Structure 1
Amino acid sequence: MNRNDDVELPADWDDDSDVGAERRRGRRAALIAFGLVAVLVIGVGIVVGSYLNGLRNSYEKRSVVDITRAEGERPEAEEGTGQNILLLGSDKRSEEAAAAEGVTGQRSDVMMLVHIADDGESVYITSFPRDLYVDIPGHGKDRINAALAFGGPSLAVTTVEDYTGVPIDHVALIDFEGIEGLVDTLGGVDVQVPTDFEADGIEYTAGTQSMDGREALVFVRQRKQFADGDFQRNRNQQAVLKGIADKLISADTLTDPRRLADTIEEVSPYLTTDEGLTAGEMTKLGLSLRSIRGDDLYFLSVPHGGPTTTSGGASVVATDEEAMDVLREALRTDDMGTYYAQYAGAY
């Protein structure tokens, strides 16, 4: 029936009887109820729209950087091979803390390459030792975490792209204050502690330990308490990231709008991303990963050699090019599942 077709009214529509009047009252009540429902739906839509807009406005408080490169300089992207996101944790302190500690600039004490499989069913997080000795474009060979100090997230992306041979789709950098605030906003996270130790007056006990923001932050910065130093610190950083991810993707967090809003509001001022990682792109990415759970996150370390000393006397971590080529091929072809099965825990 078209909208302009004549509508045949029921025979009793103009009935003046008591029954007809009752029916008309019933119809008016139904129409009023329908109208109220319509207003309610529209109102909810407005509220939801305002809420999403609020989240978007909070997210826009982040800083943005340009990670584009001249044509031909970036590794070629191949269709159907997933996405690569570089996560950086900066040791940037507040001005007061930096002055007290005599620290200038910032270096990426946390550097992880997140590979999202093309089918959206699994995510592989590969950590880089902060002292890995690699080529940094325009600066020669140096520790990989120096790229952030030399040229910010853009140079860190360029360095990792050149080293891994795959394009980086997005980058996200968060400083220590943001990590602490994120964990506190989530109400703490459960972290797997490798052994008993003490740091900054905090006791850590082997096994699963619930941590607030400060406890998690102190935990990810420790290395001298462990025989393998930075390598165990990488594993500890992964443990905290897994705790955060488990909390973020848990049902109670995803279905709690207030907590989600608070999380975005808390973290955004400490977050730097590439210009392309907009609120819309984040939403799209989140939807593509809606079936991911904690067991679908796989953690590993980039292949590397042992500790060594440069000609200038600096202590660094050597690369392992032969083993690295295997990882490069797995990333390039989106075959990280096979790689993980063979090399998980090897480094």
Structure 2
Amino acid sequence: MNAPDDLQLPSDWEDDSEPDPRARRSRRFALIALGLAGVLVLGAVIAVGAYLNSLRSAYEKVTTVSISRGASDGERPEDGQGRNFLLLGSDKRSEEDAKAENVSGQRSDVMMLVHISADNKEVYVTSFPRDLYVDIPGHGKGRINSALAYGGVSLAVTTVENYTGVPIDHVALIDFEGIQGLVDTLDGVDVTVPEDFEADGHQYTKGTQHLNGEEALAFVRARKQFSEGDFQRNRNQQAVLQGIISKLISADTLTDPAKLRDTISTIAPYMTTDDGLDSGAMIELGLSLRSIRSGDIHYLAVPNSGPYTTSGGASVVGTDEEAMDLLRTALREDTMSSYYADHVSNG
């Protein structure tokens, strides 16, 4: 089965029947560049040419939305180098929580900015604390995760664009139920547990632990069990993401057409993306990132000044503008490699 007529395939992209193990290995690592589970699955599956048509049908189950900026949102940041994806994990709030915070709908308890370098050789996944206290257009100061509840995906994108100073090329939102289903479809994932703790009736033991979907969901939601609260939860979310990536690029997953179809069919109904992230864009993205290895994906956190209480009594996480300016520059100028070496990998 051939790729779409209007898609120019690179000369080194071989047919799936090619026996050269180096070609198969190169294609395998094309799958890990998208960051979040849903985008990883969609890009991985669609990039496998032999199953393109059937998988494209599964992809069409994804909900799409148009991203726009309102009158109060300000100008979109000027284009920088590289590409930026906003990845959101949402959790439907209870009526009691919604009333208490004067918002409705979903909250983005997982928020990650994925920066892909201009040469397609490095990927940087930056997590935001859900309580980071920032300007939300039309709503004043608020926790960054409330932008999704106030104004949907568009406002979440605008809020992050305004704060980071770089444009968001695409956005993907997955409901937490989709994360649970994805992990179960993959027959569970191995995750590094930071310490012994209990959450939602599940026991976690320090070290590497194999988690099913329900256990993984409770793990990424857990916050109050840790002295570092939301900061540790962000690290736990990244740990689950790493576990999912490892499982997705394993040979048994990639060589099993039924498992691939089951995976995308499971997660697609829980996915929302911008309308520009169609199947053709996913194919091109997968091809452009075919040389990425797992060691080329780096995880970090947005700089902050730590928790504090506002004059109104709200517990939030303060910003660190001086440190954030360094990250903004690295994102805009595509110098994340130097930023990571100077501010993350060396502590």
TM (normalized to structure 1)?
0.80
**Cα distance in 2 for residues equivalent to 1:154 and 1:313:** 28
Q: Quick check: 1:77 aligned with 2:79?
A: yes
Moved more, 62-71 or 197-206: 62-71
Q: 1:99 to 1:145 in 2, by over 3 A?
A: closer
Q: Which residue of 2 is the match for residue 304 of structure 1? A: 304
User: Counterparts in 2 of 1:177-326, with a 5 A limit?
Assistant: 177-326=177-326
**Cα distance in 2 for residues equivalent to 1:250 and 1:296:** 17
AA of the residue aligned to 2:250: S
Q: Which residue of 2 is the match for residue 114 of structure 1? A: 114
Q: Which residue of 1 is the match for residue 137 of structure 2? A: 137
**Cα distance in 2 for residues equivalent to 1:312 and 1:102:** 18
1:49 Cα deviation from its structure 2 partner: 7.9
Secondary structure of 2:319's match? Answer: coil
Secondary structure of 2:276's match? Answer: coil
AA of the residue aligned to 1:124: Y
User: Contact conserved, 1:77 with 1:166, CA < 8 A, in 2?
Assistant: yes
Per-residue CA deviations over 1:60-115 (Å, capped at 9, x if unaligned) read: 1111111144798211113xx2110000000127xxxx579988521000000000
AA of the residue aligned to 1:302: V
AA of the residue aligned to 1:75: P
AA of the residue aligned to 2:208: T
**Cα distance in 1 for residues equivalent to 2:181 and 2:222:** 19
Structure 2: gaps (5+ residues):
1-47
**Cα distance in 2 for residues equivalent to 1:308 and 1:105:** 26
Point out the structure with max Rg over C-alpha: 1
AA of the residue aligned to 1:231: F
Per-residue CA deviations over 1:111-159 (Å, capped at 9, x if unaligned) read: 0000011121211000000000000011110000000000111100000
1:255 Cα deviation from its structure 2 partner: 2.8
1:205 Cα deviation from its structure 2 partner: 0.9
AA of the residue aligned to 1:131: D
**Cα distance in 2 for residues equivalent to 1:307 and 1:70:** 30
**Cα distance in 2 for residues equivalent to 1:346 and 1:135:** 31
Secondary structure of 2:269's match? Answer: helix
User: Contact conserved, 2:132 with 2:144, CA < 8 A, in 1?
Assistant: yes
Q: Which residue of 1 is the match for residue 338 of structure 2? A: 338
**Cα distance in 1 for residues equivalent to 2:146 and 2:305:** 19
Secondary structure of 2:166's match? Answer: coil
Secondary structure of 1:316's match? Answer: strand
1:249 Cα deviation from its structure 2 partner: 2.4
**Cα distance in 1 for residues equivalent to 2:298 and 2:199:** 28
Secondary structure of 2:312's match? Answer: coil
User: Contact conserved, 2:69 with 2:155, CA < 8 A, in 1?
Assistant: no
User: Contact conserved, 1:300 with 1:345, CA < 8 A, in 2?
Assistant: no
Secondary structure of 1:190's match? Answer: strand
1:252 Cα deviation from its structure 2 partner: 2.8
Which of structures 1 and 2 has the larger relative contact order (alpha carbons within 8 angstroms, sep 6+)? 2
Q: Which residue of 2 is the match for residue 53 of structure 1? A: 53
Secondary structure of 1:167's match? Answer: coil
Q: Quick check: 1:328 aligned with 2:328?
A: yes
Secondary structure of 1:73's match? Answer: coil
User: Contact conserved, 1:89 with 1:176, CA < 8 A, in 2?
Assistant: yes
